[in-house]
Structure 1
Amino acid sequence: MRLTVLGGDGGWPRAGSACSGYLVQREGYVLLVDPGYATAPLLFSVVPPWEIDAVLVTHGHPDHCADLSPLLRARIFDDHPAPALPVHAPAGALDAVLALDRPQLLHGAVTVSHLEDGARLQLGPFEIEATALPHTWPNLGYRISTDGPSLAYTGDSGPSDRRVDLARDVTVLLAEASYAARVPDDVVG
């Protein structure tokens, strides 16, 4: 399993940087996790848009999903348009970003699957397990496993025993944090 960090900035990207965005690759399969603000240009410098096999989104805040729009546009407007991109996210998480384009443009470009707490799916060589984690917006953490290495990714979330369970015995824990001093009560689970 190969992990490439495209960005990890908080609520907005700093100059020359990007918000949350991670590529997970194995056996030629390319999984994009959280295409946040400014990740598309960095993504395209690593892998062409038509080589993305699937996308996972933790939640609907734009610093975790806004660059799904330029990714889809790059796939649509290429000389050889790519097949529909499978995108998996909590229900409603992608409504705003998908509304940036007219539905006719996106027809055939994307298939959206809504995930809930406890959902499991197979994406290429990856077994995905979704876990609801506390945040101000419905948020799923993901455990991404193979027959070897494994990765747990929290997205934005507050302290929770569920984070501990998600990360138990993984090879790599990718945990985001927003509050250094005090965590607001509405993001503690």
Structure 2
Amino acid sequence: MSRLVTGEDTQVRITVLGKSPAWQDAGGACSGYLIEEAGTCVLLDCGCGVFGKLRTHRDYISVDAVVISHLHADHIFDLVPFASALTYAPRQQPVPVDRWPGIAEPIRPALYAPHGAKESFALMCQGGGMFPNHVENAFDIHEYGPGDDVRIGPLSVTFAAVPHFLPTCAVDVRVAGNGSGPGPRFTFGADCAPNDEIVAFAAGTDLIMLEATLPRPERSGIRGHLTPREAGEHAARAGARRLVLTHISDELDALWALDEARDAFGGEVLLASEGAVYCV
């Protein structure tokens, strides 16, 4: 069962580094979540403002892998300062600098991102005045597709396509069972329009985190986001144990959003906030 905690008494911890939609909350950050299990550390999404938030919780050198759900700016832009730290920080240099003894091979965390990511990262860096290969040189990049299964330490990370404005995958994180049944499980819906795919993908999950960007459906055109009520409906259909609303602006009334989602879900709903920790 998942719950909001501040201690170390459960197996998998999900810490919210940033929960804003494409425009940041005042003093906030866009999409970014730290997933920790024993000695393994994964950063899920790295949107605007996330790298600075990460540094208040964890040494960035200790991040084993970064997983990106899709290539929108509010989910990837802080890969640039992260890459800058991995490239230029004193501890990453081959010769002693100040209190750092020097390192023969700089640390390069794994980076799992959708197909086409290398090209997108190069364009992002070039447009920002960096070398096009800035992110690629700093990280060990692996491009994934829907249905792929990635193993990061004891964590099994799988992906399923969900409808959005560009190719996007929901992300499911599981811990291997210990012989007495399946291990803890966390499902992140990424950004998505109403869909059946996330319902099937997240069926029975311990904790589902769904976006709740919109106060009401889009006025026209292709849909790309959920309302709080729709998030509650999707979580209920998936049979999730608990629901966390995320990707939601501080300009949207929190109590209204929670009431909408709770009415549709029928169970406990939490609203993501920076620094909150959820455990499964």
TM-score scaled by length of structure 2:
0.63
Q: How well do the aligned residues superpose, as a CA RMSD in angstroms? A: 1.8
In structure 1, what is the equivalent of residue 65 of structure 2?
54
In structure 2, what is the equivalent of residue 175 of structure 1?
210
Which contiguous aligned blocks of 4+ residues in structure 1 show a shift greater than 2 angstroms? 92-101, 103-108, 177-180, 183-188
Q: Which has the larger radius of gyration?
A: 2
Q: How does 1:20-169 map to 2 (within 5 A)?
A: 20-81=31-92, 82-93=106-117, 94-95=120-121, 96-99=123-126, 100=128, 101-103=130-132, 105-106=134-135, 108-147=137-176, 148-169=183-204
Amino acid in structure 1 at the alignment position of 2:194: P
Cα-to-partner distance string for 1:20-62 (whole Å, 9 max, x where unaligned): 1000000111100011111111100101111111001011111
Amino acid in structure 2 at the alignment position of 1:137: L
Aligned counterparts of 2:170 and 2:193: Cα–Cα separation in 1: 11
Unaligned runs of 5+ in 1: none
Amino acid in structure 1 at the alignment position of 2:20: D
Larger deviation: 152-161 or 175-184?
A: 175-184
Q: Tell me by how many angstroms 1:105 deviates.
A: 4.7
Work out the percentage of aligned pairs sharing the same amino acid: 28
Larger deviation: 101-110 or 69-78?
A: 101-110
Q: Tell me by how many angstroms 1:160 deviates.
A: 0.9
Quick one: structure 1 residues 26 and 105, their matched pair in 2 at CA, closer, same or farther if it must change by over 3 Å?
same
Aligned counterparts of 1:90 and 1:143: Cα–Cα separation in 2: 15
SS in 2 for 1:5: strand
SS in 1 for 2:90: coil
Q: Which has the higher contact order (CA 8 A, sep 6+)?
A: 2
Aligned residues: 188
Contact persistence 1:157–1:177 (CA under 8 A): no
Contact persistence 2:80–2:135 (CA under 8 A): no
In structure 1, what is the equivalent of residue 96 of structure 2?
none
Quick one: structure 1 residues 27 and 98, their matched pair in 2 at CA, closer, same or farther if it must change by over 3 Å?
farther
SS in 1 for 2:222: helix
